[in-house]
Amino acid sequence: MHKQRQTVVVVGLGYIGLPTASILATRGHTVLGVDVNPSTVETINSGRIHIVEPDLDVLVRSAVNSGNLKAALAPQEGDSFIVAVPTPFFQSGPDQDKVPDLSYIDAATRSIAPFLREGNLVILESTSPVGTTERIADMVAQLRPDLVQVGGSGRGQLSVHLAHCPERVLPGHILRELVDNDRIIGGITKCAAERARDLYKSFCNGGMHLTDARTAEMAKLVENSSRDVNIAFANELSVICDKLSINVWELIELANRHPRVNILQPGPGVGGHCIAVDPWFIVAAAPEEARLIRTAREVNDAKPHWVLERVRAKAERFKEPVIGCLGLSFKANIDDLRESPALEITLELIRSGVGRVMACEPNIVPAKGDLPLYPLEEVLREADILLVLVDHEEFREVDRELLKEKVVIDTRGVWR
């Protein structure tokens, strides 16, 4: 069954939706990609891309030229629907805890509801709080009561299959990991999980692990929360080492020589749409119980402020300091700025007027926004303070002789 060609509607053409839509199209499926941004739709239909991801441009061009991939502003009827839209968070409550914003998922559900038919498959790929797939099912039942079948017990059951299959890919390696990584597939029913597995088998070589929707939702949150806790340990360690005049990079390297120790590398904070966001979904669901997860988030969220204080202290040495901020993305060698601590630090330095800020981000064209972007060579020449925020390859290759007269604050250990 999994080899049958389908008409697949992918809602959301960002870092997950566009690669998924393109791979499905190159595997013979007819794919309609849906996005609310007209320029995104136009760009994709011309065979180009609006995001940076290795080899994605070639894949999209091939998929569009084959006629199997088209982009539009609104959905159409299909066999399967994949929802891959953002799930950000917003502040809420007396403690200002962050809670998930499900408005994009709700909007996507409303957009596809008129086009659903009996037997369709709906897959939620967006990282979501536990219970979100059931929330979609409830919305579909309300919007399309004709799709609710009443059984012998008098209870209604949707004639549409719903499943959650969280994305688990690394930016910069998305195309390879979409194909090779194992997939967790959680269905509201066993049949829904099996239907989703059949679709993923058409392009995935990794293992397929079937479970229920709530467990699949929680699995993704746990994966990223585990990483967040481990990063928080490294970040807290870097602050302690700075106070005690210890080189944290050497310390971690030595400690990791123990066969059962694997301390991660510290940084200026934690960014990206996953690790910086997902733990809050667990905290919001169980605020009294998620004590360690909450503390790790607080440690990592505080790290940018600690970096800012170090820069301010160094800037006091200069009458009119020039601060070179190296890197704006949330991780190395990509252009993704979502929840980026590097971007947060750079913008705060600009707002506070500590000095003249010169930012360098090799993966972003200078025209993006109002950021003062400069070539690396110019930043290295003019800056009094060099603040390394992202470990891009370009920064690793810098001639160390150029750093001798500079104040260097290296949050990534690039120049250690």
- CATH assignment of the domain containing 341: 3.40.50.720
| pTM of the predicted model over 0.85 | yes
Pairing of strands 161-164, 121-124: parallel
Residue 213 lies in a domain: no
Residue 415 lies in a domain: no
Same domain, 149 and 195: yes
Residue 138 lies in a domain: yes
Cα dihedral 280, 284, 290, 294 sign: positive
Catalytic residue among 70, 165, 204, 274: 274
Same domain, 151 and 86: yes
Place 92 in a pLDDT band, splitting at 50, 70 and 90. Answer: low
Residue 17: CB partners within 8 Å, gap ≥ 6?
Answer: 10, 11, 33, 35, 82, 84, 85, 125
Catalytic-residue membership of 191: no
pLDDT, residue 356, reads: 96
Same domain, 256 and 392: yes
Residue 133 lies in a domain: yes
Catalytic residue among 70, 98, 220, 303: 220
CA-to-CA distance for 315 and 321, rounded, in angstroms? 6
Residue 58 lies in a domain: yes
Provide the terminal-to-terminal Cα distance of the chain, rounded to the nearest Å: 54
Catalytic-residue membership of 220: yes
| pLDDT at position 367 over 60 | no
Domain boundaries, position 70: 7-206
| pLDDT at position 154 over 60 | no
Residue 1 lies in a domain: no
Residue 214 lies in a domain: no
| pLDDT at position 2 over 50 | no
pLDDT more than 90, % of the chain: 84
Residue 14 lies in a domain: yes
Give the chain's domain count: 2
